[in-house]
Structure 1
Amino acid sequence: MLSFLLLTVCAARAYAALFESPTSELLNTTYDFIIIGAGAGGAVMANRLTEDAGTKVLLIEAGGSDFMNQNISAPGLSSTLTHSKFDWNFTTTPQVGLNNRTVAYPRGFVLGGSTATNQMIFCRGTKDDWNRFANVSGDDGWSWENLIPFIFKVDNMTAPTDGHNTTGQFNPTIHNTSGVVDISVPGVSLAIDSRGLNASQELSQEFPFNLDYNSGDTIGFSWTQSTIHNGRRVTSATSYLTQAFNRSNLDILVNTRVTKLVPVGNYSGKPDMRGVQFAQSANGTVYTMQAAKEVILSAGSVKSPHILMLSGIGDASHLALFNITSLVDLPVIGTNLQDHVFLGNPWTVNANFTLDDVHRNATLAAEQLALWQANGTGFFGLPPTNQFNWLRTNSSVFSSLNTTDPSAGPTSANFELIISDNFASKRVALPATGRFVSMVTNVISPTSRGNISLASADPFDAPLVNPNLLGTDVDVAIMRSAIQAARNFMAAPAWADYIISEFGAFGEAQTDDELDAYIHDQSDTVDHPIGTIPMGTDGALEANLTLKGTVGLRVVDASAFPFIPSGHTQGPTYILAERAASLVRATLSN
């Protein structure tokens, strides 16, 4: 509906124009900025740059404009988005740490990018995360304290769907109610919520209650905060782009892939990379446009390095394998890929209902979907979890491996425990019978590093994606300690009459060797790739996110992080982009 509205009003130029293909009107327009990718980073940049009425912006998105699709909007339908038309449908290379399995690597392919396909958990990152970024980049502007104004630009804390009293579920004094992205605590209560809260109180030394993990210190047991409002997913398209749709100085081109960036000049030996080539199909017409001021690359941690390598920016020896002329030899491009590791650990439970019933019972699911369609309530408005733990591994684990703690510091977790009111696994289908509670363990501060590389010089071929999941003994040890913590938490008296037993391969894995085998066999990705074009003295980006060795090119997405935030990554990406927009706008006023 919104796409139709934009198309019908664009002739009047009172609003942003949405183009389904490159028209002569678009091709003959001069744009100050061309932004590539409409995820968290690109949408923020499109919004903030068009706040200056004299700045003309073109936003190019490879996917479509159907960001209000029901499967995107309904939080409970998020599992349908992998391998859908809203997914790039990447697959990893065989992962040594996963017994040489390949796994799906979902990335958003629609306005909103991966904010339209993720699991909606909102994290800011920690004080130590951001202070480490500041240290690595040499720019104190990336420190936690200096980013608070930008955090508040993102943050719009709203009431949960059911309107319940949220006292004790978050700290309102550290949140904003006038930011762009609507965030809420869970809007549907589950029977296990009181048990999780009681378990934290009973085992407060190991699982201390943390009123608000978005305080900058995540450690402990907390209620989740999610990008959900009135039971519906909030994306960068429904937030930042919806605001910007009211401005005539924004044009959006969808269903169009940027094939490469091309130099339009040379300054002091540096190529001016403000030329952008794009096409709508592998055999279609290739168009070229030039930004008057800058190109903003916001295509994500997989596609941004892919586009740079196709453009001749990357490891020259790697590019030579595909007869790509090297413009800037930057071997770090595509390396430093980091991701979080997912492992679902299930228990059978003594319950009359869990969310497994909704997943098995088509009639019940239809009833719940109708309820959600009517007013956003019911189980389809739920985030993937109402509660979780952020915890640190005992230092003895690292000393035994003759290594140091890989986290950013004491406010940052080594692992996350996500409480799920159902059977949660990316490896095993929901059993035909039984009801479950799962504790998803997540290696949140990994040491493994992977890479993105070229499979061919064809821009319509997917790159090779190697996140190197569980690629080190340290990460396996962190996962092992996470499983032990999960077992400790579920052994609390609060669960005594609820838990029946550990289920399946999880229950069979008790010794360290058995646990390691189970971990390698059952783990997967949390879908949080970052770091493939990192800022820093040893990285690819200057502290202001301009690409080293080039002119007119800046990278604003999760690929810019030198280390993975110890939290889910959409929030830090929004925050990074807010500061990036401020940096760019400062150059316009000089």
Structure 2
Amino acid sequence: MVFGLGNKSFLTNPAHYATPSLDRGPPTSRGTAERTIKNYDYVIIGGGTAGSVLASRLTEDPTINVLVLEAGQDHRGILETRIPAAFGKLFHTDNDWNYRTTAQPNVANRELYWPRGKMIGGSSSMNAMMHHHCDAHDFNEWANEFGCKGWDYKSMQPYFRRSEKFTPNPNRRPVDVSHRGNAGLWETGYSYLSEVGDKGFIEGCKEVGIPYNSDINTPSGTLGVTTFQTFISPRGARSSAATAYLPQHVVNRSNLHIATGVMVTKILFDVTTGSEPTAIGAELQTKRDGPKYHVGARKEVLLCGGAINTPQTLLLSGIGPREQLTKHNIPVIVENNKVGTELKDHFCSSGLMGKTKPGVSLDFLYNDLRSLPHLARWLVTGGGPMTTNVGEAAAFIRTVDPPVRMPATCKVQPKDYGSGEHGPDVEIIGAPLAFIDHGESRPPGNADVFSMVPIGLRPQSKGTIELESRDPFQHPIINPNYLSEKNDRDVLVVGVRVCLEILRSKALEKYLEPVEVNDDPDSPWWPYSASDIHAITDEQIVSWMPHTAFTLYHPIGTARMGPNSNDSVVDLQCKVHGTKGLRVIDASIFPEQVSGHPTAPIIAIAEKAAEQIRGIALKKAQL
């Protein structure tokens, strides 16, 4: 039964009707948590990327009864979630949590915008669709360096493959399909590739010494330049966690219940039975000044809120640092100083832009009138530029071994924090359009451009998520502490220099207009416009980087996994230390930042967790 979702009757108060025991109208009070009637086997908090996977996989067993609680709305009424190129249209809408960080001292004291999906499917319904396992050594590091046995790449690979249904593209360079899944629920393939991305950027990377890598989703690793595989259907539509795992026939399952438009205010615990508090349900509201409702979980509560909402929910529920909980008059259920800490994010410098010749870029997509014929083409055929994921191609490099020789003006010497011996620490994305201020600003003179941006993949800077207040409707305090570690700046300096070499390559220059030479770092075309890119100093680059620097939308680690409660929040089965009946399954459990795009790892983690949970449920049933 679905509430606020699908073809079934829409119920105006999904929170009320998600509690079958309340059959005579909304109550004024439900009493204590211990009196909550337990109506569901599992209550999933968050219907985003991981939550969608869990809801689908758990209810494959008709004996398992699941309730999903999602703060956002149904994704299926939102056309922009289906059109790959339209994801930016969802920013700053009701389908976006619309977060902002605290002022960042090392990023020109700017408060930075963090978009996060607030709908079924979560951020998988509004991101750039990169399908990336990340480097195999990232997961080996989880197992070997952080004690997370069973989470190495060999253990994770079956879940990557299980999730995927890959469609080859005969017009792309061939890949070894033995590394691709062909029977999963999540459709993957290739989005639109512009000529400048293919013949310009990729060939330009090869020209400066970055080898081509036809498939970065294999045990061989990520290094090299590649065309991204994306999560896109053969019909040219986004294949989000929602469309893949919650199609109509799954939504129609009698043992699956989805309540949308509800805010979980806290997890409910039984603290009177046993030695550890046991999660028995959730408290929720449909609006800030509305009544509160309780829903119960017979077996477990599964928290899938993501790297921001998950620590906020844990803190509101009394799990976290004692000092912070006491400050907000929240009773301490479990003291754990790691909740909301260890926040890491992939951070980009300001982007580098080359002015393109007419007809080269896809900047026309920013113009509703000019993009209309391409929208019509997509609606009819599912093809064309509307299927672009913007970040078409990327190069993954190690700054301790840059592909080009650094000029004498480069004094920085980054340390190697890549995973294993071959893990990259910088990704350079090539995009055939401007992406300034998350696509909200246009380049000088409204020019058409080709953009490149270096991203620090293995940041050493750590941040925090803390409560602003005990009001669950108020955003938490997000402080990523960007560039607080010097090595993060050094890595980006080298990344910028490699970008400049690619921009000056013969392959890419064929598609670019010459710009007037200007050595002023405040010029909008600098540093590409510099008369001598090798004369640019490290200090000039460091000063320029924060102007329009931005997040790549990959926060992790705020409820990290580990075997010991003194340095982690969840154990190796994703169970919250010191509790019973509560797991966290989302990017917040990553022990360390992955060197790439996290959607595929999140889905693989959810697949693995669903198998763990169902295995336990089956074992208990057999007993």
TM-score tier (shorter)? over 0.9
- The equivalent of 1:359 in structure 2 is 366
Distance 1:284 1:210 in 2: 54
| Partner SS for 1:151 | helix
Q: Is 1:476 equivalent to 2:479 in the alignment?
A: no
Verify the 8 A CA contact 1:18 1:254 in the aligned structure 2. Answer: no
Deviation of 1:195 (Å): 2.4
- The equivalent of 1:122 in structure 2 is 131
Q: Is 1:455 equivalent to 2:468 in the alignment?
A: yes
Change (3 A) 1:189 1:517: closer
Change (3 A) 1:379 1:157: same
Verify the 8 A CA contact 1:56 1:250 in the aligned structure 2. Answer: yes
- The equivalent of 1:303 in structure 2 is 309
| Partner SS for 1:208 | coil
- The equivalent of 2:581 in structure 1 is 552
Change (3 A) 1:472 1:233: same
Distance 1:299 1:376 in 2: 32
| Partner SS for 1:215 | coil
Tell me the amino acid that sits aligned with residue 555 of structure 2.
Answer: P
Distance 2:140 2:273 in 1: 33
- The equivalent of 2:335 in structure 1 is 329
Verify the 8 A CA contact 1:188 1:378 in the aligned structure 2. Answer: no
Deviation of 1:584 (Å): 1.0
- The equivalent of 2:161 in structure 1 is 152
* Number of aligned positions between the proteins: 574
- The equivalent of 2:434 in structure 1 is 423
Tell me the amino acid that sits aligned with residue 185 of structure 2.
Answer: V
Distance 2:192 2:510 in 1: 26
Change (3 A) 1:421 1:458: same
Q: Which runs of 4+ in 1 moved over 4 A?
A: 2-5, 17-20, 400-404
Distance 1:562 1:227 in 2: 25
Structure 1 residue runs of 5 or longer lacking an equivalent are 11-16
- The equivalent of 1:376 in structure 2 is 382
Q: Is 1:43 equivalent to 2:52 in the alignment?
A: yes
Q: Structure 2 matches for 1:398-547, cutoff 5 A?
A: 404-426=415-437, 428-501=441-514, 504-507=525-528, 510-536=536-562, 537=564, 538-547=567-576
Q: Is 1:21 equivalent to 2:14 in the alignment?
A: yes
Distance 2:4 2:341 in 1: 41
- The equivalent of 1:194 in structure 2 is 199
Tell me the amino acid that sits aligned with residue 444 of structure 2.
Answer: P
| Partner SS for 1:409 | coil
- The equivalent of 2:591 in structure 1 is 562
Deviation of 1:188 (Å): 4.6
Distance 2:435 2:616 in 1: 48
Deviation of 1:126 (Å): 1.5
Distance 2:613 2:508 in 1: 52
Tell me the amino acid that sits aligned with residue 142 of structure 1.
Answer: W
| Partner SS for 1:459 | coil
Q: Is 1:215 equivalent to 2:228 in the alignment?
A: no
Q: Is 1:573 equivalent to 2:598 in the alignment?
A: no
Tell me the amino acid that sits aligned with residue 6 of structure 1.
Answer: G
Aligned mate of 2:616, from 579, 587, 590: 587
- The equivalent of 2:392 in structure 1 is 386
Distance 2:106 2:95 in 1: 28
Deviation of 1:246 (Å): 4.1
Deviation of 1:119 (Å): 1.1
Aligned mate of 2:298, from 289, 292, 296: 292
| Partner SS for 2:91 | coil
Distance 2:312 2:18 in 1: 29
1:515-559 Cα offsets, whole Å, 9 max, x none, are: 001112221111111100000132111111100011110000000
| Partner SS for 2:340 | coil
Change (3 A) 1:347 1:402: closer
1:110-145 Cα offsets, whole Å, 9 max, x none, are: 001111111111111221111111124534311111
Verify the 8 A CA contact 2:72 2:120 in the aligned structure 1. Answer: yes
Q: Normalising by structure 1, report the TM-score.
A: 0.92
Distance 1:303 1:241 in 2: 22
Deviation of 1:270 (Å): 1.4
- The equivalent of 2:519 in structure 1 is none
Deviation of 1:158 (Å): 1.8
Distance 1:327 1:6 in 2: 37
Distance 1:279 1:59 in 2: 14
Distance 1:491 1:456 in 2: 50
Aligned mate of 1:181, from 150, 175, 186: 186
Distance 2:88 2:600 in 1: 20
Q: Is 1:87 equivalent to 2:116 in the alignment?
A: no
Verify the 8 A CA contact 1:127 1:411 in the aligned structure 2. Answer: no
Verify the 8 A CA contact 1:46 1:244 in the aligned structure 2. Answer: no
Moved more, 445-454 or 384-393: 384-393
Change (3 A) 1:251 1:322: same
Identity of aligned residues (%): 30
Distance 2:44 2:7 in 1: 20
| Partner SS for 2:130 | coil
Moved more, 21-30 or 117-126: 21-30
Q: Is 1:77 equivalent to 2:124 in the alignment?
A: no
Verify the 8 A CA contact 2:19 2:295 in the aligned structure 1. Answer: no
- The equivalent of 2:152 in structure 1 is 143
Verify the 8 A CA contact 1:18 1:253 in the aligned structure 2. Answer: no
Deviation of 1:488 (Å): 1.7
1:15-50 Cα offsets, whole Å, 9 max, x none, are: xx9886124463337100000011111111111111
Tell me the amino acid that sits aligned with residue 607 of structure 2.
Answer: E
CA RMSD of aligned residues (A): 2.4
Deviation of 1:498 (Å): 2.9
Moved more, 521-530 or 552-561: 521-530
- The equivalent of 1:278 in structure 2 is 284
Deviation of 1:94 (Å): 0.6
Deviation of 1:404 (Å): 4.3
Distance 1:240 1:419 in 2: 30
Verify the 8 A CA contact 2:19 2:294 in the aligned structure 1. Answer: no
- The equivalent of 1:14 in structure 2 is none
Verify the 8 A CA contact 2:196 2:511 in the aligned structure 1. Answer: no
| Partner SS for 1:92 | strand
- The equivalent of 1:13 in structure 2 is none
Verify the 8 A CA contact 2:312 2:465 in the aligned structure 1. Answer: yes
| Partner SS for 1:94 | strand
| Partner SS for 1:231 | coil
Deviation of 1:401 (Å): 7.5
Verify the 8 A CA contact 1:535 1:545 in the aligned structure 2. Answer: yes
Q: Is 1:319 equivalent to 2:319 in the alignment?
A: no
Change (3 A) 1:178 1:456: same
